[in-house]
Structure 1
Amino acid sequence: MLKLASLDGRAVSGNYPEPEGHFMNRSLWKLAAALAVLGLLAGACSGDSDDGAEEITTIKLVANPWSGSAANIEVAKQLLENELGYTVEVTDLDENAQWSAINTGELHASLEVWPSGHGQNRVDFIDNPDGNVVDAGLLGPIGQIGWYLPAYMIDQDPALANAEGFTDPALAGLFATAETGDLGQILHGDPSWVTFEQDIIDDFGLQLEIVYAGSEEALLAAFDAAFAREDPVLSYFWTPHSAFNTFDLVELELPPNPDGGKYYPSEDLFKIVWAGLEDGAPAAWQFLQDFNYSTADQVSMLAAIDGEGKSVEEAAADWIAANEATWSAWIPS
């Protein structure tokens, strides 16, 4: 079988006959030679980089299902497009599925990984010599996941400040709903989030049942409804978040895990990038490596989205307009 080059530089195969004996039809030789030359010319004019890697002009970013991730991705998208000239596609994907997609190069980067839930993913995709995911450095904000409830509930009974209080069926029952019966309800968001709520409940015999609200927006709506009536509410939640500007939420004190550590230690949020981006889109690679801002930067966008009703696109554009001194350092010279 003879393999020729197509006009876009890719190899194509056809069922071309091998020569019989020492002779081949002269017209076939001429056709093969002409197509080969065209293929070489096409390859020379293609988007291959100097080292032979195929040039990547469309950057594929992952947005996870919470506002902070969406804000990060939108800032990166606008700057990659407007300052560096790339096309950017954004895919909504949960935090677990993104690892294999980035490892294969189907997607290129995610900008807010919470490390406590991804130890095995780091081993499989970053530390593994065969992995193609690269730790692209810290995002900047420090995250803290925990259980939160209104300050007015602790004022009502200080025992609620500690998870041990929820071993008491009477106290846990203050948070009971029609869905949980005699058990107290602890709200959770998206079922795809990596969390340890059931472990905590089981490890310490807490009289609680997890109820999935379904999303970050649903958790905020639950806070809004509870605070309006000063009703009990207990929920998985996290900082940084603009909700703390609106609701007086107190983090519940959780006991140590069986190994003596914290279920939810403070988290240095970090970024992950497909290794192939370094050769295929070096300017985007360097930009994503350097992308870093403060907790206050992120919270300012979250406040605009959650508090002022701005779109993610508007909040990111406003941040970019006001913070050129920060983001200009991310643009490769």
Structure 2
Amino acid sequence: MQSSPMYKFLFLTLGLFFGSAGVATAQTCEIDRPIIFGGLDWDSNTFHTEVARIILEEGYGCETDMIPGSTLPLVTGLGRGDIDVLMEIWRDNLVEPWQAALAKGDVVDLGINFPDAVQGWYVPRYLVEGDAARGIEPLAPTLKSVFDLPRYASLFRDPEVPDKGRFYNCILGWQCELLNSAKLRAYGLESHFTNFRPGTGAALSAAIASAYTRGQPILSYYWGPTWVLGAYDMVKLEEPPYSADAWQAFSDNLASAPPTAFPDVEVAIGANTVFSENAPQITAFLRAYATNNELVSTALAYLQTHPEASARDAARAFLDLRPDVWRQWVPEDVAARIGGSNVLAAPSAFPEAWHFPINGVVNTWITEFVASYGNYFEALGNRVLTVILAVESGLEALPWWLVLLLVALIGYHATGHVLAPFGFAAALFLVGVLGLWELAMQTLALTFVSVGVAMMLGIPLGVLLAKFPRLRRVSLPALDAMQTLPSFVYLIPALMLFGLGKVPAVFATVIYATPPLIRLTDLGIRLVADEFTEVAADLGAKKWQRLLNIELPLALPNVMAGINQTIMMALSMVVIASMIGARGLGEQVLLGIQRLDVGQGFTAGLAIVALAVVFDRITQAYGKRNPKRTSLSRAFRRVLAGLRSPTA
């Protein structure tokens, strides 16, 4: 039966109606590319970023992405247009770079995200009041203000400087680090406390978490809203009362003006100017975005009560629980598209029913392990630290010219060339000329101890693997994991067990740098021809004699190649070591990154290269069985011949 014209008209009308309704509910983003957020490395910013991303994706139909980084590089990227939005601009801690970008017109301030961010110096409450449930006695019952700290400095003993306490400052290179350093001087605490500057926010929070889990004293700067202040009961120490005029005077003259307590900071949202002009609706949403300290702290607590949750999960929970807050930021039609049936599960190529995340189990186990055995690892770490400090003190006690002379003599003994020592001495002399001699000695001490431990472990293990093929087959996957696992992964438990400083840096370096030595020692032993060992056995040599007198000497080129690789990998870890407070040349590289000081980073990098070249050439030379030696007279004649040559 054919449809009548009336039915055709009705179907066409309904089709046009529903089609137009679909068009009306569809949303096209103002920006035809992904909107890039700056992923600052602390929890509150990550939470705000995920909230904004969900709203833009579901409510405005936009694609979003995030670039992780630290403050100054991301602010620079915001001005260049590489980043579109930063959800947290701490105005008081980022005065010069932010004001400079505003003055140039590269960025716009979209208003206050939250007006009551807190900062200060904190100690655990159990230190002042005790904790009967945990069996902790109050060790500092009269500790109320920063001026009480000298009486209790011994409670916060710095293992690297035992006659002082340790103050955990703000992150290296941040404005708050400079403010706290000035406060430490002004309060007369420099003679009582070391100024310990962590390289990352994660390292600082790990130090607080480790101390709190074990019920130990810790004195630290921190800020909120953060999960740390939400999860741990901390007491903020009193400082001279804040006033706007006094704070401004102190900020303008850190060297001599008296400090005050930190003000409550207004944390703003920043955007690239071109992006803001091209996306007026998104800009209007970001201008309306407003939270407060308590609200964000409550939202971040979700991450502690749900150990397997991500920042995006916390953001989703906030959107589900607090529509009374976020619906004020967007029009009704946008709000209607957020959450509910509009939430699409992320596609998974692997069956979700088979997912078995282990991060919650690992976190629980690590927390219990640190609480039960952390003190034992701390004692072990103190022994390792004693060795590191002894080596460091020995190197710093040597006159610079004597160090150059010793390196030159070792270089001549290794290479047999009379010109090589001058090159080695010149490389180290360059380090001194760059003004980095003391920091280089700290780096060398850390490298020497790490390589020494790696040799004590790597060479015997390499021999065992060569002698027992089954053990080698079992061990190879573990060696692969040690080399390929990102160093930050095993830095996390190291920080929890050993705290910040030089010891976890040695721990990470040994794990990272030992596998090449094990592999090459194993290879060198297996490459020794059986004829040599068989002849020795026929002559009555025992196994250990064959190993020491035949196999290891013949395997020396491979063993030295392994030591060479271990030294190079240990030197490559110096920047990562600086992130957990190991100081040395890596700290200068990190400081250059944090402050966008190319010259400082390049100078420290050049010093690291100079050290690497010296040790690389010397260890390579020792790996050669018969180095050719050049006499002084022959070398002198070669130099004269080169000068007389017309092509010279």
TM range (shorter): 0.7 to 0.9
What is the deviation of 1:236? 1.1
Q: Which amino acid aligns with 1:292?
A: A
What is the deviation of 1:263? 5.3
CA distance in 2, matches of 1:160, 1:139: 34
> Which 5+ residue runs of structure 2 have no aligned equivalent?
1-29, 130-138, 242-249, 251-255, 334-648
CA distance in 2, matches of 1:316, 1:109: 17
Partner-residue secondary structure (3-state), 1:202: helix
Aligned to 2:110: 136
Structure 1 position 100 matched with structure 2 position 99: no
CA distance in 2, matches of 1:65, 1:192: 14
CA distance in 2, matches of 1:112, 1:316: 16
Partner-residue secondary structure (3-state), 1:186: strand
1:292-331 aligned at under 5 Å gives the runs 292-309=290-307, 310-331=309-330
Q: Which amino acid aligns with 1:193?
A: W
Aligned to 2:235: 250
Give the alignment's TM-score, normalised by structure 2.
0.40
2:272 to 274, 299, 319: 274
Aligned to 1:153: 127
What is the deviation of 1:159? 4.6
Q: Which amino acid aligns with 1:173?
A: S
Contact 2:123 2:234 in 1 (8 A): yes
Aligned to 1:76: 52
CA distance in 2, matches of 1:101, 1:146: 29
Return the structure number with greater helix share: 2
- What RMSD in Å do the two structures reach over aligned CA positions? 2.4
Return the structure number with greater strand share: 1
The number of residues matched between the two structures is 276
Contact 1:62 1:110 in 2 (8 A): yes
CA distance in 1, matches of 2:197, 2:299: 26
CA distance in 2, matches of 1:311, 1:103: 29
CA distance in 1, matches of 2:224, 2:45: 13
Structure 1 position 91 matched with structure 2 position 67: yes
Aligned to 1:241: 226
Aligned to 2:419: none
Aligned to 2:260: 262
What is the deviation of 1:190? 3.8
Aligned to 1:116: 92
> Which 5+ residue runs of structure 1 have no aligned equivalent?
1-53
Contact 2:39 2:69 in 1 (8 A): yes
What is the deviation of 1:323? 2.4
CA distance in 1, matches of 2:208, 2:268: 28
CA distance in 2, matches of 1:209, 1:324: 47
Q: Which amino acid aligns with 1:293?
A: T
Q: Which amino acid aligns with 2:38?
A: V
Higher relative contact order (CA 8 A, sep 6+): 1
Q: Spell out, residue by residue over 1:85-105, the C-alpha distance to the aligned partner (whole angstroms, 9 max, x if none).
A: 111111112122222211121
Partner-residue secondary structure (3-state), 1:250: strand
What is the deviation of 1:213? 4.5
CA distance in 1, matches of 2:53, 2:64: 6
Q: Spell out, residue by residue over 1:138-171, the C-alpha distance to the aligned partner (whole angstroms, 9 max, x if none).
A: 00251111110012323433453221223x3x52
Contact 1:63 1:73 in 2 (8 A): yes
Aligned to 2:187: 204
What is the deviation of 1:222? 3.0
What is the deviation of 1:287? 1.6
Q: How much identity, in percent, do the aligned residues show?
A: 24
